[in-house]
Structure 1
Amino acid sequence: MTGGASSAIRVAVAHFPSTTAAVPRVRRSTVHMLTTWSVDPDAVSVAEVVVCELASNAAKASHPDDVMAIRLTATSGSILIEVWDSNDAGPRITDPDTDSEDGRGLLMVGALSSRWSWYRAKTQGKVVWAEISSGLVPEPAAMVTAMPTRTPTVGPEPTEPIAYRTDPETLRRVADALRGLDRWHRPRPPESVAHRISVRT
């Protein structure tokens, strides 16, 4: 590790009732968590707007008795906001009228984030995600712990030619498919769904 860059990854998951009334709690929870992680203040402000838009869309797409889940992942280079709801239908970008108050959420998300997309969860529902550039404030060099390294081993030679695809669209589809296997959005039954946060570092 050089230049004082942090190798830390912070992950938190929170569950909320799937109602528009819960959106302010989603906003406060997100701001509190990112601020606790020492995320760049400008990035926190952007994340605050993005998570509100995604949570509002999730609430509108869901039954009031459902749950929506928010996962935040912060690194030194980005913040990833993921919002799960139980509706399998993909998000739709509309072209709102000039005087319309609705329909601008995803347009705003697209304008504020470096990229956004969505994927279907393996169990049920979908996850809409947005990535914001910037992230954790770098730790002082003295606090950075070097990551352990492993010695590479030689594996067997392939029996058939291997074709590698590294175009962004293919990599995005693979990443979304892998994310869809993770059941992070499902709350643990013994705990209240009203508002649960779990944090990993």
Structure 2
Amino acid sequence: MLAHPISASIARRCVGRTLTAWGRADLVECAQLIIGELVANAIQSTADVTAAGADLVAPGGLVESQPGVVGVGLYRIGGRVVLEVWDRSRLPPKLVNPSMEDVGGRGLLLVDALATVWGYRLSAIGGKVVYATLDEAA
């Protein structure tokens, strides 16, 4: 999907519908919060990568520009649900403790609190995949 702010909302809706269709409505709220945060982080990471390459000039003096994309995956392994988000950045996600004055930086704290397990891996196609799992007891 395009790396656009509306994409987090689209991903939340898709995850909610899919989990409900799978008979896992018990996980919808947590999964929607997690996927929203992961997609928002991926959009930011994609924007950072795009900005870093913005000074690359194509022949003829034109700056090559294409919208960034992020990938979203949702699948089951036994009773566990796995949420994944891919972005072009290879930089690992950072779990930080923001101060009370900080405007952002709390998304991965939420993911850490809700997910059974979360982490990342580098992707064979470039970039990284950040994943989170939810078990039946979530």
Structures share fold, TM-score greater than 0.5? yes
Partner of 1:77: 79
Partner of 1:90: 92
Please report how far the alpha carbon of residue 78 of structure 1 lies from its aligned counterpart in structure 2 after TM superposition.
0.9
Which one has a bigger Cα radius of gyration?
1
Please report how far the alpha carbon of residue 124 of structure 1 lies from its aligned counterpart in structure 2 after TM superposition.
0.5
Please report how far the alpha carbon of residue 75 of structure 1 lies from its aligned counterpart in structure 2 after TM superposition.
3.9
> As a proportion of its length, which structure holds more helix?
2
Partner of 1:67: 69
Please report how far the alpha carbon of residue 76 of structure 1 lies from its aligned counterpart in structure 2 after TM superposition.
4.1
Match of 2:7 among 22, 27, 31: 22
Please report how far the alpha carbon of residue 45 of structure 1 lies from its aligned counterpart in structure 2 after TM superposition.
1.0
Query: Aligned letter for 1:45?
Result: E
Find the residue that maps to 2:71 and give its secondary structure: strand
Contiguous gaps of at least 5 residues in structure 2? 51-66
Please report how far the alpha carbon of residue 23 of structure 1 lies from its aligned counterpart in structure 2 after TM superposition.
1.0
Q: How does 1:100-139 map to 2 (within 5 A)?
A: 100-134=102-136
Q: Which of structures 1 and 2 has the larger relative contact order (alpha carbons within 8 angstroms, sep 6+)?
A: 1
- Root-mean-square deviation (CA), in Å? 1.6
Moved over 3 A (4+): none
Query: TM-score, normalised on structure 2?
Result: 0.80
Q: Distance in 2 between matches of 1:88 and 1:42?
A: 33
Contiguous gaps of at least 5 residues in structure 1? 1-15, 136-201
Q: Distance in 1 between matches of 2:70 and 2:115?
A: 21
Find the residue that maps to 2:89 and give its secondary structure: coil
Report how many residues are paired.
119
Higher alpha-carbon deviation: 65-74 or 91-100? 91-100
1:33 maps to 2:35 = no
1:76–1:134 Cα contact (<8 Å) kept: no
Find the residue that maps to 1:131 and give its secondary structure: strand
Query: TM-score, normalised on structure 1?
Result: 0.56
Of all paired residues, the percent bearing the same amino acid is: 29
